[in-house]
Structures are given as C-alpha cells and as structure tokens.
Amino acid sequence: MPTSRSYRDSCGVARALDVVGERWALLIVRELLLTPQRFSELRHALPHVSSNVLADRLRELENNGVIHRGPAETEGSTAYQLTEWGRNLEPIVRGLGEWGVDAPQPPEPSALSASSVLIFLEDAARPDPKAPPTVCRLDLGGRVWTVRLADGRLRVQAGETATADASLRADPKTLSTLLNDPSTLETARANGSIAVVGDLSAIRRLLHTIPRNDHPTTP
Amino acid sequence: MPTSRSYRDSCGVARALDVVGERWALLIVRELLLTPQRFSELRHALPHVSSNVLADRLRELENNGVIHRGPAETEGSTAYQLTEWGRNLEPIVRGLGEWGVDAPQPPEPSALSASSVLIFLEDAARPDPKAPPTVCRLDLGGRVWTVRLADGRLRVQAGETATADASLRADPKTLSTLLNDPSTLETARANGSIAVVGDLSAIRRLLHTIPRNDHPTTP
DNA sequence: CTGGATCCGAAACGATACTG
DNA sequence: CAGTATCGTTTCGGATCCAG
C-alpha cells in the first residue's frame, strides 16, 4: 500500500518531497534517467530494496505522474519510464550525485548499478576538446550502451550503435574501479574481469576523461 | 536517536540521500538557506515536525557535516547554520522547489514559512531590467528581511537595511497570496492583514516581479 | 520562555516466502 | 517475470514532561 503522509506545507520543496521524498523514490528516478527499465531490472539495479516497497514506490510515482508504464523493447512486456514532468528531475538527481560524492563512503557490501556509473561518467567526464571523436560500445551488466566522446562532451545512450571504435564488457563496479584508476586496465584485461574488443586506445581515452584527484572516489 | 540506515549503494545519489534523504532533512536545509536559525525558529517554520524528530535530524545533519551550531545574533544562544558543504545543496533545494510547484496542492491546513516564500520569490521573480532599483524592508512573521530589486535580479537578505523605499509587514501566507494576485493589495491593507510604510508603488513593483500565469500558484 | 528528552501508538520499512 | 502476503523491526508523529 502506497505511502499517504504529507508534509502539509505549501512550499514547492515540500510538495516535491511529498512526491519523491519517500525512501528509494529518487533512486528509482536515477535508474530511469538513461532508459526505461522493467521491474526485474530495477530489482537488480537496487538489490537492497525489497520487492513490496519497490512495487509501492512504482505505484506511487505512477499515481503522481512521475513515471508511467509503457511497452518494453522486448514485446509483450512493460517497462517503467519517466513522464515529461519526471524527466525534469534530471538536473536535481545529477546535482545530488555530484554533491554526494563528497560524502563518506558507505559500508560494504555496497551496490552499484550500471546507470549509476554511467551517470557519474557523464557528469564527471572532462574530455579533451581536441581529442579525436570516439565511440565506445559498453556491455555493462547485461545491457549494451553507447558512449560518444566528442566536442569536449561525453554522452551515454542505451542500446547498440552501428559503428564503434571499441567494445568493453565489464560489470559496473569494475568499470568504476577502472575510472578511478585507469592503470588497472591491463591487469583487469589479463585476469578476465573485463573484455576489450577493437581499439584499446579508445577505451583508454574514455577512462582518462575523468580528472584525476589523487585520492580515489567511487561513483 | 538518529537514524542509522543506509542505502548501501556507492552511487553519489544514494550517498547524498544517506545524508539528507531522511524525512524533514531537506526542509531543514531549506530553512537555513537564507539565514541561521535557532531550534525554536525551526519549530515555528516547520510546525508539523515533532520536536524529537527535529532534534534527531539536527544531530544527524551536524554529525554528517551539513550543518553546525554557531553563536546566534542574540548573544548567549546558539543557532544552526549550514556548513560550506551544506550550502552546496542550495541549487538542489531550489531546483526541487521549482519542480514541486507543478505538483498538486497539499491538503489544508498547510504551513508556509517565511523562508519558503522568500526563496520562491527569489527564484520566480523576473524583474523588469529597466525598472528603477528598489529596496523593500519586509517584516515577515517576526523577522526582518531586505529585498533588493536591481538589474533584473531580486535578492533577499536577512536583517535590516539602512535605506528602504518601503516597508511591508505581513505573514508568509498573506505575502504568498499577494504574490499570486497583487490586486488584493488594497483590500489587505484596508482590513489590516498587512501594513505598508513608505512608497506603496515600491511594494507594487515588488509584487509584480512574479510573472502572471492566470491560474494561481502557491510557493 | 528555550531546547530539548521521554513515552507511546501508528505507519513505514526490510526480509523472506509465496503466487498467478 | 512481476509482483503479493506476511511479519518483525524501525522510524515517525503527537503529546507530554523536564531542566536551564
């Protein structure tokens, strides 16, 4: 049963939190920023949310016009996606993410979804504007993403692309480690925790878009 | 006793919500955006939070480095204020406020603090850049604020100012009504729900910085 | 008065098991 | 796959009480 409590405050901030202030709500929005996702994909991305709470949140967000159910790519099934109003949360969620990286690390074991790493990548990347345009195909935890590096901007899209300079298969945590310390690329490739196909230097350019700050960070 | 649960997610968004995601936390931050406030002022601004939860949140936010206790203006007492890190939440809270005004209105009775109206005013005002610079003194629910209108910007400061074109005393809800419908200014003045001293047209200019959109809104 | 602390019932959450 | 059902635990909300 969805939550019904309210802050009873006319202020816009309070009204926003009446809608997306309940536990897990903004993390669900984060997951849907890059692409629609199905119930089981959300469970996989947010392994610590229990299924009843996830169902409650999705119902609540749908009733409040933040998300809606639509047809999934694979026919016959449905996926949750942001409404136009829900999409307006994007700068807020990204802002929270940038603010939160300065918080103390959470205790292990700690989850990390593909969306989390990719959103961090988009926001933290500072590609050299003079570097050659690069397209990477990422196979991250069972889904395929396209990362485009051009004009001093890094952009992530869900799905395949026709032409990629290189392809990288990894899980989100490993990619996060690589972004923190690109020098581990060779070892990771050697021990099989990642797989690279194509132009290795393209992957290397991708990893080096994150400015180094000496002390490691996690998305 | 402060909350101890965590999302156990390394993502920046989740780490941010581990710190400011508990109930009432971001509304406390909202209250502290314009000026430090004391425990009793926060209780007055957030009448629906119970004192134990407020105390818990303040402790938690202090432990996490979002706020700290400092000497209040009136000596002998202390006030809560944002740390440098906490202040970085400002664009996020303002963004939430702008997003939230499109949400359905909460049920009455609904609170509205001075900070809420003033932050809404700052974010929603679109002053005519060619209008004459104007300084208004606002007496809003027991505290005095200075509103400066110049160069197409509206800025709010806590406290008195030496030279003001006009002075307005009102409570937050009344000011909100006036901002929604400036035509009620005369009636409000007549029935004593507000008091104006000085240049009435300055107040009128202030109220007209909010773009009309036909259907009423509340901060 | 200010700045909380204590107590208690109600609601939300977390974990696990189960079903169409 | 996409959720329900159940149940123990935590947090919240509301009222009251207390020390400085």
A153 is in which domain, residue-wise? 114-208
Please give the residue of chain A at the shortest CA–CA distance from B7. Answer: A48
**CA gap B106, B109 in Å, rounded:** 9
Q: Domain check: are A122 and A200 in the same one?
A: yes
Q: Check if A109 contacts B (Cβ < 8 Å).
A: yes
N-term to C-term CA, chain B: 32
**Sign (positive/negative) of CA torsion A29, A34, A40, A44?**
negative
Q: Domain check: are B96 and B154 in the same one?
A: no
Domain boundary among A100, A131, A148: A100
Q: Domain check: are A129 and A80 in the same one?
A: no
Distances (CA, A) of A41 to A51, B22, B177: 12, 25, 45
Residue nearest to nucleotide D5 (CA to C1'): A52
Q: What is the pLDDT along chain A (219 residues), one digit of tens a residue?
A: 889 899 999 999 999 999 999 999 999 999 999 999 999 999 999 999 999 999 999 999 999 999 999 887 777 789 999 999 999 999 999 999 999 999 998 888 899 999 999 999 999 999 999 999 999 999 998 899 999 999 999 999 999 988 999 999 999 999 999 999 999 999 999 999 999 999 999 999 999 999 986 555 555
Cβ burial, residue B158 (10 Å; 0-12/13-18/19+): middle
- HSE value, Cβ hemisphere, 13 Å, CA-based, for B102: 12
DSSP for A188-219 reads HHHTTSSEEEE-HHHHHHHHTTSPP-SS----
Please give the residue of chain B at the shortest CA–CA distance from A96. Answer: B13
Window 22-61 of A: residues touching B by CB (8 A cutoff) are 23-24, 26-27, 30, 46, 48
Number of structural domains found in chain A? 2
Contact: A96, B13; criterion CB under 8 Å: yes
Q: Looking at residue B184, what DSSP letter applies?
A: G
**CA gap A175, A207 in Å, rounded:** 9
Residue given tokens 């994909």 in the structure block = A41
- Tens-place pLDDT, residues B10-41: 999 999 999 999 999 999 999 999 999 999 99
Q: Check if A174 contacts B (Cβ < 8 Å).
A: no
CATH of the domain at A80: 1.10.10.10
Tokens (6 digits) for B78:
């202390």
Nucleotide nearest to A50 (CA to C1'): C14
Q: Domain check: are B121 and B95 in the same one?
A: no
pTM, 2 dp? 0.95
Does the residue B40 lie in any domain? Answer: yes
Q: Looking at residue B205, what DSSP letter applies?
A: H
CB A26 within 8 Å of CB B39: no
- DSSP H helices, chain B, are 12-20, 25-32, 39-45, 51-63, 84-87, 90-100, 114-124, 172-180, 185-190, 200-207
- Tens-place pLDDT, residues A12-57: 999 999 999 999 999 999 999 999 999 999 999 999 999 999 999 9
Residue B57, SS3 per DSSP: helix
CATH of the domain at B178: 3.30.1050.10
Contact: B15, A95; criterion CB under 8 Å: no
